[in-house]
Amino acid sequence: MAGSGVAHMRNDDGVVLEVRDLVVEFKVGGGRVVKAVSKISFDVCRGETLAVVGESGCGKTTLGKAVLQLPPPNSGDVIFEGTNLTKLPREQLRSARTAIQMVFQDPISSLDPRMPVRDLIEEPLSIWQRGDETERAAKINELLNNVGLDPNLVLDRRSYEFSGGQCQRISIARSLALEPRMLICDEPVSSLDVSIQAQILNLLQDMKDRYGLTMIFISHDLAVVKAVSNRIMVMYLGKICEVGSPDAIYTRPAHHYTSALISSVPIPDPTRKKTTVPLQGEPPSPVAPPSGCRFRTRCPAATEQCAAEEPQLREVSPGQFVACHHPRG
Amino acid sequence: MTTMMSIEDLHVKFATPFGSLEAVRGASLDIPAGMSVGVVGESGSGKTVLCRASMGLLSGSNVQREGKVVFDGKELTAMTRDQVRNEFGTGMAMIFQDPMTALNPVRRIGTQISESLRVRLRMDGKAARARSAELLSLVRIPDPEAMLRKFPYQLSGGMRQRVMIAIAISCNPKLLFADEPTTALDVTVQAQILQLLSDLRRDLKMSMVLVTHDLGVVANHTDFVAVMYAGEIVEQAPTIELFANMKMPYTEALLNSIPNIEMKSGARLKAIEGRLPSPVDRPTGCGFVTRCSYALQKCHDEHPPLVDAGNGHLYRCWFPLGHTIARKQ
């Protein structure tokens, strides 16, 4: 699994973001290098939500940040609306980046505890000198109303006075202040209660419709992803395992890893007994990933070929691509 | 069926600058020997306080506990602190939510596991070390000898939670409290840890209280469920009975808000709007009245009593699901 390839890339006018052969590595001392993202390519069409799914440490957050050049990738291209972000000088990059915003995982620590909500949301507007004072005030009110908060009650309060769900609403309002065309959500609901999760997921869908956003939604939970995505990309140790529509991925996962992820999701029905064994063990270290297919050490179908040769992404059904020598089904 | 722990009309109040805050309001719950009981609710519903208060872990001048807790035939609420402490480890043990902060960062894993063995079971260093290694293999950690020498920062979240479990079961407790043991973990690791806990409970003949906010987790790993809301147990029943025959609108809403892997992709989630009422300003009638889509005038005015529906199924609702009175929706 976990291979390279570009078979899943679409060559269509609707493509807003195109990422090619992205590599992100971190030096960790002693000459060792963490291979967080290894030659990943993908594209996102306008108005689409691409979900990036995988376990902790698979490189999904690094991938999301690398799109924003935070930090710039070691190699590869990130082409957003025809501009290659990796080649832009610093100032142009800053201004190009206003069109892509990020919502972070931990809503409480991603907001400055000393700033009142008014300043939190105004900050991006004042940095980019959008509008005068009255226009900004109107914009802040509009954003807060849209994310379901009452401006009169929240404007002068600070982040520590709010619950996790409310903080995430404030983060979303802040990320929308500059009217971005793309939103990268990094595990936006994983630190929230299930009941609040549903509220925030619905809110993100509403905001996507209202502002015409294209989204990259990063998550480890396939159940959460199902509710929001149009296309799913499953990652393992810095490589792509499988790309496809939610229907294809959930009803006939071709990759053994995808299938293991699906069977790990708890089903709220005590009469149903699990038929599949959860995935054993933990991912190997990204400092020394296995040769060939990176999933082979935990894969039930691994053979010698998997150790020797890295699988390339190929189409197994229309729109469904898998990097595996021995796909399921 | 013998009862391992019985909690009768437990009230826990905290004195705060805003007045007395009643975190648990008259909870009664029996934990049968050898069974697993799930306590489900949102953040702030009082589930953690219920567990800690039953174990006698809450103390201080601002805490007021009323009611009776009987553990293994002994009345904990009538015992001195030292007597209660004597029950820890060999009688009751607890696994905390966050495996990152529950372990001491500057002591080796081996030292932390053998501590309770030396203190509680009076083992010498050598025996404690051997037993620690055994415990680590019991929680399915590969190469336990090497693990004994490691520090917590060298381990992943899943591995740390396994170490926490090893510490908790080190003195063969009769009752294990697991407070959100998998909330901080990935879905794949969550599946492994829940399976491990279920297997250990069966093999070591323990009783277990599994605290979680996820009804999906409860469905597959418990025999009984108690649903908490605003400091009260609002519904309790054997797990199969609860899912087959829900009475409380809150339980239904909680179930509906879970992103289900079998739902249509892109379908809107049924979020529970609003949030828990503040514990210093609770509604006079039913605690859930502010968010309940079925609420009638009576629900606002009168506090619903606990109703026995038979088969060990109890609930607190004036108009339970399936009731014949016409609902607003």
Boundaries of every domain in chain A: 1-99+213-329
In a domain, B190, yes or no: yes
**pLDDT values of chain A reduced to their tens digit, one per residue, 329 residues:** 455 678 888 877 889 999 999 999 999 888 899 999 999 999 999 999 999 999 888 999 999 999 999 989 999 999 999 999 999 999 999 999 999 999 988 888 889 999 999 999 999 999 999 999 999 999 999 999 999 999 998 999 999 888 888 999 999 999 999 999 999 999 998 888 888 888 999 999 999 999 999 999 999 888 888 888 999 999 999 999 999 999 999 999 999 999 999 888 888 888 876 655 667 777 888 899 999 999 999 998 899 999 999 999 999 999 999 999 999 98
Q: Summarize pLDDT for A273-318 with one digit per residue, the tens.
A: 665 566 777 788 889 999 999 999 999 889 999 999 999 999 999 9
- Both tokens assigned to A23: 């590599």
Contact A278/B192, CB-based, under 8 Å? Answer: yes
Q: Are residues B69 and B207 in the same domain?
A: yes
Q: Is residue B68 part of a domain?
A: yes
Sign of CA dihedral A212, A218, A221, A226: positive
Residue of chain A minimizing CA distance to B225: A270
Q: Mark whether B180 and B309 lie in a shared domain.
A: yes
Q: Is-contact B173 B142, C-beta < 8 A?
A: no
Judgement on whether residues B175 and B153 belong to the same structural domain of the protein: no
Contact B70, B100 (CB under 8 A): no
B127 and B214 in a single domain? The answer is: no
A56 and B273 within 8 Å at the Cβ level: the answer is no
Q: Is the pLDDT of residue B328 over 60?
A: no
B151 shares a domain with B195: no
Scanning B245-264 for CB atoms below 8 A from A yields 253-255, 257-263
Tell if the CB–CB gap between B271 and A261 is shorter than 8 Å. Answer: no
B68 and B206, same domain (yes or no): yes
Q: Which of B219, B240, B270 sits opposite A267 (nearest CB)?
A: B219
Q: Are residues B197 and B83 in the same domain?
A: yes
The residue range of the domain holding B117 is 105-161
B54 in any annotated domain = yes
Residue B27 has what pLDDT? Answer: 94
The predicted-structure confidence for B284-301, as pLDDT tens digits, reads as follows 899 999 999 888 999 999
By DSSP bridging, strand B63-71 and strand B3-16 are antiparallel
Encoding tokens for residue B119?
Answer: 């203190």
**A195 and chain B: CB distance < 8 Å anywhere?**
yes
- DSSP calls for B93-154: EEE-S-HHHHS-TTS-HHHHHHHHHHHHS---HHHHHHHHHHHHHHTT-SSHHHHHT--GGG
> How many whole angstroms separate alpha carbon B6 and alpha carbon B87?
15
Structure tokens at A124: 């991006």
In a shared domain, residues B110 and B132? yes
Query: What's the whole-model pTM score?
Result: 0.87
**How many structural domains is chain B composed of?**
2
The Cα A42–Cα A234 span in angstroms is 12
- For residue B194, what are the contacts with CB-CB under 8 A and spacing of at least 6? A266, B181, B182, B217, B220, B221
Specify the CATH number of the domain A1-99+213-329: 3.40.50.300
pLDDT greater than 80 at residue B325: no
Do residues B178 and B54 both lie within one domain?
A: yes
- In this prediction, residue A47 carries a pLDDT of 93
B195 with B86, same domain: the answer is: yes
Q: Nearest by CB to B271, from A202, A228, A260: name it.
A: A202
Residues B143 and B286 in one domain: no
Q: Does B269 touch chain A (CB under 8 A)?
A: yes
In terms of domains, do B190 and B41 share one?
yes
